[in-house]
Amino acid sequence: MVVTLNDINKKVEERRDEAVSFLQELIGAPSPSGEEAEAARVVADKMRGIGFDAVEVDGLNDAKGTIKGTGDGRSILFNGHIDHVPVGGMVDPYSGKLMDGAEFGVEGDIIYGRASSDMKGAVAAMVMAGAVLKDIGVVLRGDFKVAAVALEEVGGAGTMETMRDWFLGDVVVSGEATNMEIALGHRGGAGTSVVVKGRSCHASAPERGVNALYKAIDIIDRIRSDLIPRLPDHQVFGKTTLAVTRISVKPDAGNVVPEECTFHMDCRTHPDYPREALKADLEGIIASMRKEDPELEASVAPPARPSGRNFGGYYTDPEEHPVVLEAKEAIAEALVSEPKIKTWRFITDGRHYAWLGIPVIGFGPGEERFAHTHQDHVRVEDYLKAIVVYAWLACRICGVE
């Protein structure tokens, strides 16, 4: 069978209203991490209705679907997560309403709601791509798979569960938001904490104690003024970033000078700035400050290693994986424009597949800058075009009978 981009574009346009309604239904299923059951049901029901050959929802509420190929081509796995971060003060977060993007400085119509950009828009597009291929009657040589996973926002347990079930592909497409560009990897993450010791006393006589909170603030000020400005760049992964994200004291009482203060930092690293470098820099700052302040007592917790790795990120090098160039060509054909190649700023589940040696290509509707914000949305035309891209990628990667 010969399938053309024109065939795919025509079918996507015919199913436009269905595609929009499906995404709105998926957004309308609240799914904060750990509460994905309803969203998984919506995805699984849609895959069954489309005619996926195998559909399953596992114990973690990962929805997995397969359109089986003939077995003599490469399989493609589309990965996207259905969980989302808390809605906070977002207005009508589960409305999935159609609105003019001008309100958010975006041209064209958008679909608004929590997780629309991160990343139910991509998940819905993956499923609808399967619908389009089925509708046209395409028979792929390799399997077309969709893993709509849970628990990505809290570490990736959903994806890892599907991997333990050997739900894998020869090529993985992660639908995390790329603004219709191609992402080939991301930096690693190195969360660590500094514990500062003091001496408690009654807050009415603070001179009798050593305020651990004050000491912690002094260290944070030095981190901001000395360490952050000199964090190194990387030609592929970009700038190392560091942010203090949490702080706590003991005892946690309004009338007691705290004897201990702990603050947590999120550092996004690259191969030239591993976790060990972060720990050494923090310890160097504390040692320097101790010379000025003999009362300062602080220690740095060892940054956690993901699966024992020094670098928690990944990069799909086109020289090592020529399929990247195949995918770029296919995406350019579908978009009728040359897509930019970049890396994500945030961490994705793509790393789990990459660590197995599977090439991972990132492409999704939505913009990183709107993820986790009160303006969470996806442009309608980008969502529909993502369906075209995913269907065409499957044809090109898997091959067509």
| Digit-coded pLDDT (tens) for 18-45 | 999 999 999 999 999 999 999 999 999 9
Supply the pLDDT for residue 176. Answer: 98
Residue 307's pLDDT band (boundaries 50, 70, 90)?
Answer: low
Domain 188-308's class?
Answer: alpha beta
Supply the pLDDT for residue 309. Answer: 65
Supply the pLDDT for residue 285. Answer: 98
* Two domains, one topology: 5-186+313-398 and 188-308: no
Edge-to-edge strand ranges of the sheet holding 188-197: 241-250, 260-269, 188-197, 297-300
CATH code: domain 5-186+313-398 is 3.40.630.10
For the cut 70, the answer to whether the pLDDT of residue 191 exceeds it is yes
Mean pLDDT within 181-197: 95
More confident residue, 310 or 56: 56
**144-185 pLDDT per residue, tens:** 999 999 999 999 999 999 999 999 999 999 999 999 999 999
Supply the pLDDT for residue 159. Answer: 98
Residue 391's pLDDT band (boundaries 50, 70, 90)?
Answer: very high
CA angle 293–296–297, rounded 5-degree value: 155
Residue 1's pLDDT band (boundaries 50, 70, 90)?
Answer: confident
For the cut 80, the answer to whether the pLDDT of residue 94 exceeds it is yes
Residue 312's pLDDT band (boundaries 50, 70, 90)?
Answer: confident
- Tell me the C-alpha distance between 371 and 39, whole Å: 18
Domain ranges of the chain: 5-186+313-398, 188-308
For the cut 80, the answer to whether the pLDDT of residue 232 exceeds it is yes
For the cut 80, the answer to whether the pLDDT of residue 311 exceeds it is no
| Sign of the alpha-carbon torsion through 212, 213, 215, 220 | positive
Mean pLDDT within 280-299: 97
Mean pLDDT within 117-121: 98
Centre a 10 Å sphere on the Cβ of residue 371 and count the other Cβ atoms it contains.
20
Supply the pLDDT for residue 197. Answer: 98
Average pLDDT, the chain: 96
Supply the pLDDT for residue 364. Answer: 98
| Sign of the alpha-carbon torsion through 345, 346, 349, 354 | positive
Q: Which one-letter DSSP state was computed for residue 198?
A: -
For the cut 90, the answer to whether the pLDDT of residue 190 exceeds it is no
For the cut 90, the answer to whether the pLDDT of residue 302 exceeds it is no
- Tell me the C-alpha distance between 320 and 332, whole Å: 21
Supply the pLDDT for residue 304. Answer: 72
Supply the pLDDT for residue 105. Answer: 96
Supply the pLDDT for residue 272. Answer: 92
